[in-house]
């Protein structure tokens, strides 16, 4: 029985055990060390062998019985005795080929009814597939599939005839049995698992898989796409799995399914890439490169474009922590921020704005926050926006739980009763919760109406925490089971919040923890509950690099780590990483408020915050470019140099946009793993010049303590403000870093307009031409190879204003 509270809420409830809590020994074998004590997760997925049951039947047909061409597609039925599978190979758009394996040609993924993960072009590809006698050809422009019928085999080539990928034909044990699951299916007690095997060449490496904090190079790993409350980073569990990889052979591989997708990246066999999905169809796509930006462009055309956040979201976010809060404590924080002149754009309040035990009923705790609307107004008057924490669960102590249960707004168990369980695991003694059913339009409207009041009262943005906890055995309003709904549920949840935020405020910004394929449409995600350790920071960076290679730009993490209290040295080093990330937030289970630390920590963290605001014109311009050009804002080295072996192991640095390189310190001894690409790179503080390609292995390899470098011959816009612009950037300073002889161009994006900049440097003279409204007030020439004797801007001479600066006459 679930205990109820007559008053509608208890501040410190003691929940009775839920009948739906799982035995912690029955965990998913895909993620855990056998014999180790495991954290309890309400939506764990049993291992695949367990789900198939004993003695599954394996069907791998090779003979074709039916072949037909229909427009840009070839349809083949392969048979083996009385069994068969239907295979479709189709051209979807330029450079995009689809391979679909199921019982029938028209079968779609079971998650399609809850959330269509892909949106193929509305117009069919104009080139028809054609038969060639012993096979067929499907031409997708930049890629083509060549299909042989006897024996059946698919190979994909680029437009020059270079092989991108092909099905595996010769990977077996000495006994003759295959090392994986070839094209076909395995049938067990819970249905079929459709599969295919592709060839993995000896020098082929893979990157992506979503926010994966395992080794950056995914070759030799097996991943299962199942959103998890990861309880930290550094393991195979992921808040944001994405069944997508980029291969250094010059293609991308995307699986269209919301059900558990297994991708074996040369782990079971060094010769093969294995795909398997517990769905009615294995529907995968080959995306031609050769460059990662080519692949990611095609990936976003199929899924969703990245959504640009409002400019203020690129400022500093600061949390009051996962700690009890009151209106008085928040307003005291505001006074202290002003007193310490610490630049802040957004204050985040975690769940204690609601009554404990009633999370997340979206009702203010009126004892702790007697005048929330007034508080929000005072914060906004001080130039600070407010973010509130929510999750998609409602505690059984809340009157809103009873209302939602009466109206059928929650997911149910197999008997049609409201499902309740302990999604918080072992660390928070919260009452059991129900899960809002976003497949029910009425439930979504009810949840959004409750959010609307908060947003209209002055809340600027919602932190959409959790969303990973849909158990496999639940039932949804639309008829989906938990297996079909689990991965797409975070997308439904974030979409509901993004939609109502856009209705009220005109932007779709959410701050999300869980996501899945195509989640870049919801703008911003952060890396979840990281440990406050050096290993936690390194794992966080690996997760961010992998997420970037999966098509996401606006990512962040808890500066200093989430769980525990960082050492002063770790906090300062993490601040160098955090304030030079696409988005920046201070948050944790203990205080990350800088003025509550010693003077050395405060000064370091404040200096990094000021540096972020100084760089804001550059970061914003690069953010706009990342959306337009389909290039992640946080760029791993392999994104720019995918065939460079050194880039494959470069998991300790990234480029922030085109021109800045960040190399976070990895441990208390000052070690780095920083790969500098080809060309000259200049230290931000000391202006010392390094020539790549090379690795920097220790902070002592630099001439300053800040591991930030600038690409030579780059144009970096900055300003001196400590806030985001009300309308657009003004008083912009153009930093010209080691300008090269000849002409250099760049486009600088403001909030409302863009400016094309052309720099021509000849024998100490620099001519600057601006085509656009950039409000330029100063030019700084930094780390120049020789003296600068004259600068003109649009034909008008400027005069020196210091050692490196020039201004208008």
Q: Which residues contact 7 (CB under 8 A, 6 or more apart)?
A: none
Residues 791-794: contacts with CB under 8 Å, at least 24 apart: 791/765, 791/766, 791/767, 792/765, 792/766, 792/767, 792/768, 793/768, 793/769, 794/768, 794/769, 794/770
Q: Which helix (H) or strand (E) holds 399?
A: helix 399-407
Q: Could you tell me which of 226, 282, 287 has the C-alpha nearest to residue 109?
A: 282
Residue 468 annotated as catalytic? yes
List the helix and strand counts (H, then E) for the chain: 14, 45
Q: Which residues contact 562 (CB under 8 A, 6 or more apart)?
A: 322, 528, 529, 530, 531, 532, 587, 588, 589
The answer to whether residues 479 and 485 touch, using CB atoms and an 8 Å cutoff, is no
CA–CA distance, 547 with 530 (Å, rounded to integer): 16
Q: Which helix (H) or strand (E) holds 92?
A: strand 83-93
**From the candidates 278, 529, 641, 659, which is the catalytic residue?**
529
Q: Could you tell me which of 140, 248, 253, 161 has the C-alpha nearest to residue 198?
A: 253
CA–CA distance, 538 with 215 (Å, rounded to integer): 10
| Residue 199, helix vs strand vs coil | strand
According to DSSP, the residues that pair with 654 across neighbouring strands are 662
| Residue 789, helix vs strand vs coil | coil
Query: How many other CB atoms are there within 10 angstroms of residue 133's CB atom?
Result: 6
**From the candidates 44, 204, 465, 658, which is the catalytic residue?**
465
The answer to whether residues 543 and 212 touch, using CB atoms and an 8 Å cutoff, is yes
Whether the bond between 693 and the residue before it is cis, its omega within 30 degrees of 0, is yes
CA–CA distance, 513 with 348 (Å, rounded to integer): 15
Cα dist. 750→230, 469, 721, 773 in Å?
Answer: 38, 40, 15, 9
The answer to whether residues 457 and 376 touch, using CB atoms and an 8 Å cutoff, is yes
**From the candidates 468, 558, 658, 659, which is the catalytic residue?**
468
CA–CA distance, 690 with 707 (Å, rounded to integer): 12
Q: Could you tell me which of 485, 388, 479 has the C-alpha nearest to residue 435?
A: 485
Residue 372's φ and ψ, nearest 5 degrees, are -65, -35
b/e map 22-61, b = 16+ CB within 10 Å: beeeebbebbbeeeeebbbbbbbbbebeebbeeebebbbb
Active site residues: 465, 468, 529
């Amino acid at each position: 029985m679930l205990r109820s509270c007559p008053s509608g809420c208890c501040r410190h409830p003691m929940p009775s055990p839920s009948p739906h809590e799982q035995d912690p020994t029955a965990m998913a074998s895909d993620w855990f060390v056998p014999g180790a004590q495991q954290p309890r997760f309400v939506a764990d997925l049993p291992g695949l062998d367990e789900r198939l049951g004993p003695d599954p039947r394996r069907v791998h047909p090779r003979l074709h019985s039916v072949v037909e061409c229909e427009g840009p597609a070839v349809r083949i039925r392969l048979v083996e005795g009385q069994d068969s599978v239907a295979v479709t190979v189709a051209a979807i758009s330029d450079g995009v080929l689809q391979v679909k394996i199921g019982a029938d040609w028209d079968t779609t993924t079971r998650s399609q009814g809850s959330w269509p993960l892909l949106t193929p072009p509305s117009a069919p590809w104009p080139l028809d597939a054609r038969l060639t006698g012993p096979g067929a050809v499907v031409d997708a422009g930049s890629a083509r599939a060549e299909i042989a019928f006897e024996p059946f085999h698919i190979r994909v080539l680029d437009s020059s005839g270079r092989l991108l990928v092909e099905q595996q034909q010769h990977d077996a044990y000495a006994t003759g049995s295959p090392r994986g699951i070839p094209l076909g299916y395995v049938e067990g007690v819970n249905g079929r698992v459709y599969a295919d095997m592709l060839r993995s060449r000896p020098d082929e490496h893979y990157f992506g898989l979503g926010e994966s904090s395992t080794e950056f190079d995914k070759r030799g790993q097996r991943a299962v796409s199942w959103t998890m409350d990861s309880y930290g980073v550094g393991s195979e569990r992921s808040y944001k799995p994405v069944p997508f990889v980029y291969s250094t052979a010059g293609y991308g591989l995307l699986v269209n399914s919301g059900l558990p997708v297994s991708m074996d990246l040369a782990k079971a066999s060094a010769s093969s890439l294995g795909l398997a999905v517990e769905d009615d169809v294995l529907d995968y796509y080959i995306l031609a490169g050769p460059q990662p930006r080519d692949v990611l462009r095609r990936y976003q055309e199929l899924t969703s474009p990245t959504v640009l956040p409002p400019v203020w979201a690129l400022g500093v976010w600061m949390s009051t922590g996962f700690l009890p809060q009151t209106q008085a404590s928040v307003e005291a924080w505001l006074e202290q921020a002003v007193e310490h002149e610490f630049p802040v754009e957004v204050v985040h309040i975690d769940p204690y704005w609601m009554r404990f035990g009633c999370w997340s009923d979206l009702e203010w705790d009126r004892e702790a926050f007697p005048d929330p609307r007034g508080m929000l107004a005072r914060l906004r008057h001080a130039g600070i926006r407010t973010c509130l924490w929510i999750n998609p669960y409602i505690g059984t102590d809340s009157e809103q739980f009873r209302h939602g249960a009466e109206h059928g707004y929650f997911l149910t168990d197999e008997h049609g009763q409201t499902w309740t369980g302990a999604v918080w695991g072992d660390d928070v003694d919260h009452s059991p919760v129900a899960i809002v059913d976003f497949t029910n339009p009425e439930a979504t409207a009810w949840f959004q109406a409750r959010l609307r009041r908060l947003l209209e009262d002055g809340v600027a943005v919602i932190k959409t925490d959790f969303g990973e906890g849909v158990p496999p055995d639940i039932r949804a309003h639309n008829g989906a089971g938990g297996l079909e709904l689990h991965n797409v549920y975070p997308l439904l949840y974030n979409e509901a919040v993004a939609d109502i935020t856009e209705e009220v405020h005109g932007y779709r910004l959410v701050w999300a923890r869980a996501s899945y394929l195509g989640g870049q449409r919801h703008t911003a995600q952060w890396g979840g509950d990281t440990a406050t350790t050096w290993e936690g920071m390194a794992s966080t960076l690996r997760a961010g690099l992998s997420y970037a290679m999966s098509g996401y730009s606006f990512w962040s993490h808890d500066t200093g780590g989430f769980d525990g209290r960082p050492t002063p040295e770790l906090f300062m080093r993490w601040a160098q990483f955090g304030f030079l990330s696409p988005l920046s937030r201070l948050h944790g289970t203990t205080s990350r408020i800088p003025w509550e630390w010693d003077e050395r920590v405060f000064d370091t963290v404040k200096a990094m915050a000021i540096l972020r605001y100084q760089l804001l014109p550059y970061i914003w311009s690069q953010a706009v470019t990342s959306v337009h050009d389909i290039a992640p804002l946080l760029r791993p080295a392999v994104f720019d140099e995918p065939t460079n072996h050194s880039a494959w192991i470069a998991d300790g640095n990234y480029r922030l946009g085109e021109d800045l390189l960040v190399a976070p310190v990895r441990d208390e001894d000052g070690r780095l793993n920083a790969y500098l690409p080809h060309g000259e790179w200049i230290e931000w503080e000391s202006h010392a010049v390094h020539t790549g390609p090379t690795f920097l292995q220790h902070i002592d390899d630099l001439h300053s303590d800040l591991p930030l470098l600038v690409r030579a011959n780059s144009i970096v816009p900055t300003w001196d403000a400590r806030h985001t612009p009300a309308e657009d950037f003004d008083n912009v300073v153009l930093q010209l870093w080691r300008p090269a002889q000849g002409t250099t161009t760049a486009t600088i994006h403001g909030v409302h307009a863009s400016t094309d900049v052309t720099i021509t440097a000849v024998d100490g003279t620099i001519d600057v031409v601006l085509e656009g409204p950039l409000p330029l007030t100063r030019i700084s020439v930094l780390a120049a190879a020789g003296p600068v004797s004259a600068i003109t801007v649009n034909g008008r001479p400027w005069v020196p204003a210091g050692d490196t600066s020039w201004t208008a006459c």
